[in-house]
Amino acid sequence: MGPYAAAVAREAALWAPQLAGRQAETVFFGGGTPSLLPLPEMRVIVSALRERFDIAPDAEVTLEANPGTVDAAHLRGLRDLGFNRISFGVQSFHDEELRRLERVHDAREVEDAYRWARDAGFENVNLDLIYGLQGQSLAGWQANLEAALALGPEHLSLYALTLEDGTPMTRDVARGRVEAPDPDMQADMFEWSRDRLARAGYRHYEVSNWARPGRECRHNLVYWRNGDWLGLGAGAHSHLAGERFAAAASPSRYIALVDEAAQVRLSTSSGRAVNNPARPEALEGRAALLEGMPQIRFHERHDRAREMAETVILALRLREGLDLAAFARRFGVELESVFAAPLRETLGLGLTEVVDGRLRLRDSAVLLGDEAFLRFLPGYDAA
């Protein structure tokens, strides 16, 4: 863990010159279980971020955590480091369901972790829950959500169980050992949850996310609005200047490549960065964006048609939808001139609507979002 934290700090130094003049409004420690990282290593990374980047004084700084990997002292230490939002991967309040999901915590540990987080000073807490588990009844899911509401989090993320390739659950379904998720039951659970959370004062602002007013996840909104972000660490993905790229997934390989880049940077520039743009506009020089970054092992080059499609699709996940005027300012074209056919089709099918200058999914079509999204993909053929 020590060498890995040091490598993340070095990678921050590699990127800092390219982001000079830009302020970070959010920081998010996610992917896997970052709460396993001990406080000394966490301090190395946090210190490097604050030293290398201009982080807004009121930045939202989030940590994803497994409830079974934290204690009161650890949470106090995280709060002292500047974390002000925590997202607990609860998944369920039923121990039997947690065992089936192979989670390392039980329901009691969820309640303990939540209480410790509040005691540590966290005023912005998210709980992740999964619905539509095999054998889960509507009443069982309702009990889970009521248990979450009883705690009083500012934010809730509710995800339908999906089968991912290569997982034990997917193999068990393929072999007939367990039943596949029931989409009709999941739809019933979603619709009940949407009504229940509205009554509880939560705003449904994204397909799978609800928040108290003003507590929407600012970091994730950047993704859904197809904005820029920089990912640091093994396997971290980034989106800058229309380019999508990701670092080596293997931690050991990532450490070696970052060390290589740091050594080259020092020998080439005698301690001064090779790329040192004075203004953020320099990011528009896309060819130079990844120069001297051997840790980047995946690169999807900028494609204007794809970027426009992604901007539409991601925005449709938000209940506010796509700001049509903002789209025109960003791309210099009206949405209808680029997506006339999918726009006409989704409106005609009752999947989307235009309200106050925004294209959005109809309330009745949220569960059919994929039917709208795919029609905006480049090369989509309705036949």
d(CA 207, CA 220): 12
d(CA 365, CA 303): 29
Model confidence band, residue 278 (pLDDT cutoffs 50, 70, 90): very low
Q: Which residues in the chain are classed under CATH 3.20.20.70?
A: 2-224
Query: For 133-180, how does the pLDDT look when each residue is reduced to its tens digit (9 = 90+)?
Result: 988 999 999 999 999 999 999 999 999 998 888 777 778 878 887 788
Q: Is the pLDDT of residue 272 over 70?
A: no
Q: Is the pLDDT of residue 102 over 90?
A: no
**Topology classification of domain 304-376:** Arc Repressor Mutant, subunit A (1.10.10)
Helix (H) or strand (E) holding 245: strand 243-247
Model confidence band, residue 281 (pLDDT cutoffs 50, 70, 90): very low
Model confidence band, residue 86 (pLDDT cutoffs 50, 70, 90): very high
Block residue for tokens 């800058």? 240
**How many angstroms separate the most distant Cα atoms in the chain?**
65
d(CA 323, CA 314): 12
Opening angle at CA 284, ends 232 and 15, nearest 5: 25
Query: For 175-229, how does the pLDDT look when each residue is reduced to its tens digit (9 = 90+)?
Result: 887 788 899 999 999 999 999 999 999 999 999 999 999 999 999 999 999 999 9
Query: Tell me, what's the pLDDT at 269?
Result: 58
Query: For 27-66, how does the pLDDT look when each residue is reduced to its tens digit (9 = 90+)?
Result: 999 988 899 999 999 999 999 999 999 999 999 999 999 9
Residue 270 tokens, joined: 């005698």
Kindly tell me the number of DSSP H helices and DSSP E strands found in the chain.
15, 13
Block residue for tokens 């999906």? 162
Beta sheet of 358-361, edge-to-edge order: 322-323, 358-361, 352-355
Q: What contacts 342, CB < 8 A, 6 or more positions away?
A: 375, 376, 380
Q: What contacts 3, CB < 8 A, 6 or more positions away?
A: 255
Query: Tell me, what's the pLDDT at 134?
Result: 85
Model confidence band, residue 382 (pLDDT cutoffs 50, 70, 90): low
Mean pLDDT of the chain: 92
Residue 33's SS3 state is coil
Query: Tell me, what's the pLDDT at 159?
Result: 96
Q: What is the value of pTM for the model shown?
A: 0.91
Question: What Cα–Cα distance (Å) separates residue 19 from each residue in 23, 228, 239, 272, 297?
Answer: 8, 11, 13, 15, 20
Question: What Cα–Cα distance (Å) separates residue 112 from each residue in 95, 106, 158, 358, 378?
Answer: 15, 10, 21, 42, 48
Nearest to 19 by CA among 47, 46, 55: 55
Query: Tell me, what's the pLDDT at 285?
Result: 47
Query: For 290-309, how does the pLDDT look when each residue is reduced to its tens digit (9 = 90+)?
Result: 989 999 999 998 899 999 99
**Topology classification of domain 2-224:** TIM Barrel (3.20.20)
Q: 85-91 and 54-65: which strand pairing?
A: parallel
Torsion of CA 64, 70, 72, 73, to 10 degrees: -100
Residue 201 in contact with residue 211, Cβ under 8 Å? Answer: no
Question: Out of 127-131, 214-218, 264-268, 379-383, which region has the weakest mean confidence (pLDDT)?
Answer: 379-383
Residue 379's SS3 state is coil
Residue 187 tokens, joined: 């739809």
Residue 209 in contact with residue 222, Cβ under 8 Å? Answer: no
Residue 126 in contact with residue 85, Cβ under 8 Å? Answer: yes
Q: Which residues in the chain are classed under CATH 1.10.10.920?
A: 304-376
Model confidence band, residue 95 (pLDDT cutoffs 50, 70, 90): confident
| 296 phi/psi in degrees, rounded to 5 | -80, 115
Query: Tell me, what's the pLDDT at 275?
Result: 40
Query: Tell me, what's the pLDDT at 383?
Result: 55
When pLDDT is averaged across residues 251-261 and rounded to a whole number, the result is 97
Nearest to 41 by CA among 293, 251, 238: 251
Residue 211 tokens, joined: 């928040």
